[in-house]
Amino acid sequence: MKNISKQRLESLDVLRGFDLFCLVALEGIMHPLAHAIDTPWFNSFMWNFTHVDWEGLSPWDLVMPLFMFMSGVSIPFALSRYKNGAEKGKVYRRILKRVILLWIFGMMCQGNLLGLNPERIYLYTNTLQAIATGYLVASLLFLNTGIKTQIGIAAGLLLTYWGCMEFITIDGFGNGNYTPDGNLAEWVDRTVLGRFRDAATLQDGQVVFAPRYRYTWILSSLTFAVTTLTGLFAGYILKDKSRQPIKKFYLLAAIGAALIAAGWLWSFQMPVIKKIWTSTMVLQTSGWCFLLMAVFYWAIDCKGWRKHTEWLKVYGMNSIVAYMLAQCISFSSIGRSLFHGLEQYVGDYYSVLIACSNAAIIYLILWILYRHKIFLKV
């Protein structure tokens, strides 16, 4: 933990806080609330808080890309002073430290590292590890290349992923097959990760892959990097002091709309699939991330509408802590200890009450850290 007071882009903290609020608090409350209400209209509304099974996007499918996008936005603000060659060794060690810590945190959250069971350890399974991969690529490119080269590499990674998926065939996987059982990214994960793939088990000496688990990570790392790079490109715009704030807003919005349109046009050939992080999915989600960044920048940094946003900064300025608390620790036992007597009166809404208490405890911890200006700086 470090006490930091340097100038930050306030809209980025608020947008990051909004993303973490949705992930840490809102999701956990909405699902038990839907179960308690159980009406057709509310169940239909819950589509907004549910991942699409395979093809297409829902609003909830933006949560992870937005988290990764914002890690890219922060790079020009955090690393610019190292770009001209000063203390390169120091910054490389800092980047490596961040990547290692994010990887370990990801294994704690979803890789069963805390289970201390070697037979149930999973190596590459979590959003934080995808962020680590994207951040490693984007930060090294930022320090050693110019923006034109970075844009060219981003385009090259999208096309490389597309080319692999379209033209490589191995063991019946690939060759333009984008089904859950036939896409090349699935084969790569099974082959490279093997028993260390999430939900994989050993049965009679054979690795058995859970049919319910369809996320891929190894080949998808190419496109993870592009999601973070698009955030880096937004960071360039936001840090540019020569450009008027309103022009930054228009440029962010225009790029966002163009990316969404490009992803839509390409989707007629390559489907938009979040679970395998297709190139079209990257374009569309990055476009929406640009638009969200534009709106928050316009409202907060251009218009100065900050009065009711501080509670989001409590999440946004300690986003890793918020994520780790929600993923690794269950505070529901505290809520059940305090409110168990109410279960007989509130019925199905008791689970909503426990979810609210869980979210409140996490927020209280984050608020205490925020008030004391203590932030986890990975």
* pLDDT tens across the length of the chain (378 residues): 444 444 578 999 999 999 999 999 999 999 999 999 999 999 999 999 999 999 999 999 999 999 999 999 999 999 998 887 777 888 999 999 999 999 999 999 999 999 998 888 999 999 999 999 999 999 999 999 999 999 999 999 999 999 999 999 999 999 999 999 999 999 999 999 999 999 998 888 899 999 999 999 999 999 999 999 999 999 999 999 999 999 999 999 999 999 999 999 999 999 999 999 999 999 999 999 999 999 999 999 999 898 889 999 999 999 999 999 999 998 999 999 999 999 999 999 999 999 999 999 999 999 999 999 999 877
CB 123 within 8 A of CB 193: yes
Give domain limits for the chain: 10-371
The runs of H, that is alpha helices, within the chain are 10-21, 27-37, 40-45, 63-73, 75-79, 88-110, 127-144, 147-167, 184-193, 221-239, 245-266, 279-296, 310-316, 319-328, 332-339, 343-346, 350-371
Q: Which amino acid is at 180?
A: P
Q: Which of 244, 377, 375, 232 is nearest to 293 (CA)?
A: 232
- Label residue 362 exposed, middle or buried (CB < 10 Å: 0-12, 13-18, 19+): buried
CB 30 within 8 A of CB 367: no
Angle at Cα 232 formed by Cα 59 and Cα 131, nearest 5°? Answer: 60
Structure tokens at 186: 């699935």
Tell me if the pTM is above 0.85.
Answer: yes
Q: Is 295 helix (H, G, I), strand (E, B) or coil?
A: helix
Q: Is 173 helix (H, G, I), strand (E, B) or coil?
A: strand
